[in-house]
A and B are shown apart, each in its own frame.
Chain A
Amino acid sequence: MEDKITFTITRRKLTEIFMGLVALFFAGGATASILKYLWPATAAKGESVEIKIANADEVPMGSVKKFMFNGKASVLLHMPAGFRAFGSVCTHLGCIAYWKEDENILFCPCHLGKFDPNTGAVISGPPPSPLPAIDIVVKDGAVFALKWKDPNYVKTISFYAGAA
């Protein structure tokens, strides 16, 4: 019986432990409320919703329209192949890429990143990955943004935190 583990506990010690647990419970509640208070309300709307970007005739062939999608700067392009929409926050360091008409590219001015306006793929420059595409639909003469084409990809880009 030498290896039997014994441990004695007094009533006082037990009471102290219970009081400690109660204190922890309240401290946890307080911490949770503080975090909840600090948590931005906008973060809740991670779900994609259908939003109207523009009327189709507002964006003639070869022109663009900027809009916000899930809180991120985005761009709608009317290419010869049809409408395209991308998040325009550069995947390199988070600057906003814009439509450069004379070169037919989406261009990020910070470090000269160039993106293909049809696919969002990187043509040249430092961006590590393509601009995320947005699924769009044209109905009733208007263009609607539906959701990220690949939400899992968007989640991997730090500059799109909270957008997917």
Chain B
Amino acid sequence: MYLLDKIYKELDDRFKLRDLIPPIVKHPAPEYAVTNPLYCLGGIAFLCFLILVGTGIFLAMYYKPTPLEAYKSVEHIMTAVPMGSLIRSIHHWAANTMIAAVMLHMMRIYFMGAYKKPRELNWVVGVTLLLITTTFGFSGYLLPWDQLAFWATKIGTGIAGSIPIMGQYISLLLVGGNDIGAETMTRFFTLHVMVLPATTAILMILHFAMVRIQGISGRL
């Protein structure tokens, strides 16, 4: 501990950490929020996101987003890579848990009326995060490139294609061609590992900053 104290002191001397960190870390949550597990749902979703980022990075090291290699590489992760099936299973279950947690979190906010003024904007950001989370699930579903993945994507892009007027263009941009293939895979992969995580991170920072500035909404 002495060494850690020393390091902290060195940094504190130079960067005034005591002005930066304590206001963030040493912030007591209200009693009603600490004792009610319903207030944990947002945090559970965030924890899931962190787990997904971690396991996702590991998966991306072996995964190959091409129609020829995708299924084989997933099979390789599941059967040959040490701890591979564990990593992928954690990714799978954390993804499912995250969607459930985000949904329940939204219901908690709705039924407790926590979205009301002055927190309207945070509600909007939250719903956007919910939509992004489901898009995460949808884009990740295609990546194993099995029958389930293919047909789920067929139906999903078909639904997007059934939007009046814009639909066929949206579907074309999503699919990247006339039919689901290599272009679709790379598009969904890029969405899944680059676009969506970055967007989610930015929106989460906004989400948390607003909670910190406005405080947790009181009890009904």
Contact = CB atoms under 8 A, between A and B. Distances in A.
B158 A159 contact: yes
Contact of B178 (A39, A95, A158, A161): A161
Contacts, number: 50
Contact of A161 (B151, B161, B183): B161
A2 B166 CA distance: 47
B120 interface: no
Interface of A is mostly: loop
B172 interface: yes
Contacts of A70: 178
B154 A94 contact: yes
A79 to B, nearest CB: 26
Most B CB contacts (10 A, CB to CB) among A95, A159, A161 go to: A161
A38 B173 contact: yes
A137 interface: no
Interface residues of B, number: 17
Interface in B163-188: 167-168, 171-173, 175-179, 183
A158 B173 contact: no
A158 B158 contact: yes
Contacts of B1: none
A162 B161 CA distance: 11
A158 B167 contact: yes
A95 B150 CA distance: 10
**Which interface residue of B161, B162, B171, B183 has the most chain A CB atoms within 10 A?**
B161
A59 to B, nearest CB: 24
Contacts of B172: 39-40, 43, 161-162
Given A158-B162, A158-B167, A158-B171, A93 B177 contact: no
Nearest to A70: B178
Given A39-B173, A93-B154, A94-B158, A158 B168 contact: yes
Interface of B: 151, 154-155, 158, 161-162, 167-168, 171-173, 175-179, 183
Interface of A: 38-40, 42-43, 70-73, 93-95, 110, 158-159, 161-163
